[in-house]
Amino acid sequence: MGSPRVSYRIEGAFFIISFTDPRYLNSLSFDDFIYISELLEKADKDDSILYTVFQSSGKFFSAGFKFDSIAEFGEIKKEKNPLRQLSLLFGTISSQNVLVADRFLKHRKILICCLNGPAIGLGAALVMLCDIVYSMTDSVYLLFPFSNLAFVTELSSSITVARKLGHSCANEHLMFSTPITYNELFDKKVIVRNYKMDDTDEFNKKVIADLQKQAKQLHPDSIIGIKNTIMTGEYGRLLKLSQANESTTTFPFWVDGHPQKRFQQMKNKERRHKL
């Protein structure tokens, strides 16, 4: 099992998941997200791991959903049995919200994101699910273009964005598909530190080196224990609720077929993200 766009390696207490497709701005397919959730499971079960770190390559952290994956919906449409077709569609759409979001929620290790550049859609949702985010420069941004693409918040972003940015700002950015700039991410302390670097590989190495230094002398069980108590609070419960809410809210949009059409338009460059 694997993906040409996602790889992982283990360095001591760090389980590092890397996006390795800079040519396509690290856009990811549905299957890639399933693979990420499998890697989370792997990191979670490994007792020597305390930190799960997301890193990327090139200019973008992740441009989000891979437009080529839109072909999957063509395959689903070919299914003659309408009930079977509905079931396949539900499996594809709900997988991020139910399986992937749940594995983020249940992940016991500290989730750290090395944000080298912009992240869009599900890629941006992944950043918001991380416990700690470091940025490479001040030109990073997050974009949730769900209203432009004709569906709704997925991968728990209805909770993470509102909780971490405040309700008013979350509504503004989610309703109108406007980017969340570095300034806002830093002011609201989603990004806890800006490394002010140019090169993604160097940035990734520097973050790991800093983390190794900071992690020295800490009691490993305390780290897992602190996260566990934090997640038993309100935030964990809201994330859990969001999985069913988001899946059932987004599904009718995909049944109507608008998101598929708009992704096709994006692929044909007839529609653009608002930046």
Partner 1 sequence: MVELKSEDKIKYTINGPFFVIKLDNPKNLNAMTREDYLYLGQLLEKSENNPDVYFTVLTSTGRFFSSGADFANITAKNENSNDPELTKWLSNFVATNLYVTDMFARHSKVLICCLNGPSIGMSAAIVALCDIVYSKNDLVYLLFPFASLGLITEGATSVTLPRKINDNVAYEKLIFSQPFKYDVLKGNIIVKNYKIEDTDEFNSAVLKDLSEKIKYLHLPSCLGMKNLIHSSLRDEIIRVNSIEVNDALKFWLQGEPQRRFKQLLLKERSHKL
Is 225 a binder of partner 1 (CB under 8 A)? yes
154 is catalytic: yes
99-112 core/surface letters (b: 16 or more CB in 10 A; e: else): ebbbbbbebbbbbb
Our finding on whether 272 is near partner 1 (CB under 8 A) is no
Q: Is residue 110 a contact point for partner 1 (CB under 8 A)?
A: yes
End-to-end CA gap in the chain: 36
- Of 81 and 217, which has the nearer Cβ to partner 1? 217
Residue type at 182 in one-letter notation: Y
257 touches partner 1 by CB under 8 A? no
- In terms of CB distance, is 101 or 130 closer to partner 1? 130
- Is residue 109 a contact partner of residue 49, using CB atoms and an 8 Å limit? yes
- Is 34 a binding residue for partner 1 by CB under 8 A? The answer is no
Tell me: does residue 168 bind partner 1 (CB under 8 A): no
In the list 42, 106, 164, 271, the residue contacting partner 1 (rule: CB under 8 A) is 164
Q: How far is Cα 14 from Cα 2, in angstroms, rounded to an integer?
A: 19
> Could you say which of 71, 175, 192, 209 contacts partner 1 (CB under 8 A)?
192
The C-alpha atoms of residue 254 and residue 275 are separated, in whole angstroms, by 24
Q: Phi and psi at residue 80, in whole multiples of 5°?
A: -75, -40
> Which lies closer to partner 1 via its Cβ, residue 6 or residue 159?
159
Distance CA 211, CA 213 (A): 5
Q: How far is the CB of 184 from partner 1 (least distance, A)?
A: 13
Q: Please identify, using beta-carbon distances, which residue of 168 and 222 lies nearer to partner 1.
A: 222
> Is the Cβ of residue 79 or residue 131 nearer to partner 1 in the bound state?
131
Cβ neighbours of residue 207 closer than 8 Å, sequence gap 6 or more: 53, 55, 112, 114, 134, 195
Residue among 79, 154, 234, 270 flagged as catalytic: 154
Q: Which residues contact 253 (CB under 8 A, 6 or more apart)?
A: 150, 151, 152, 259
**Which of the 8 DSSP states describes residue 6?**
E
Out of 71, 230, 255, 275, the only residue in the binding site for partner 1 (CB under 8 A) is 230
* 269 forms part of the interface with partner 1 (CB under 8 A): no
The residue among 169 and 215 lying less far from partner 1, judged by its C-beta, is 215
Is 188 one of the binding residues for partner 1 (CB under 8 A)?
yes
The C-alpha atoms of residue 151 and residue 149 are separated, in whole angstroms, by: 6
Binding flag, residue 155, partner 1 (CB under 8 A): no
Q: Whole-angstrom Cα distance, residue 159 to residue 241?
A: 9
Strands in 132-135's sheet, in edge-to-edge order, are 6-11, 14-19, 51-55, 110-115, 132-135, 191-194
- Work out whether 190 is an interface residue with partner 1 (CB under 8 A): yes
Which x/- pattern, by CB under 8 A, does the window 117-146 give for partner 1? -------------xxxx-------------
| Binding piece for partner 1, criterion CB under 8 A, among 60-68, 87-95, 97-105, 216-224 | 216-224
Please list the active-site residues: 154
Per CB under 8 A, residues contacting partner 1 are 110, 130-133, 163-164, 188-192, 214-215, 217-219, 221-223, 225-230, 232-235
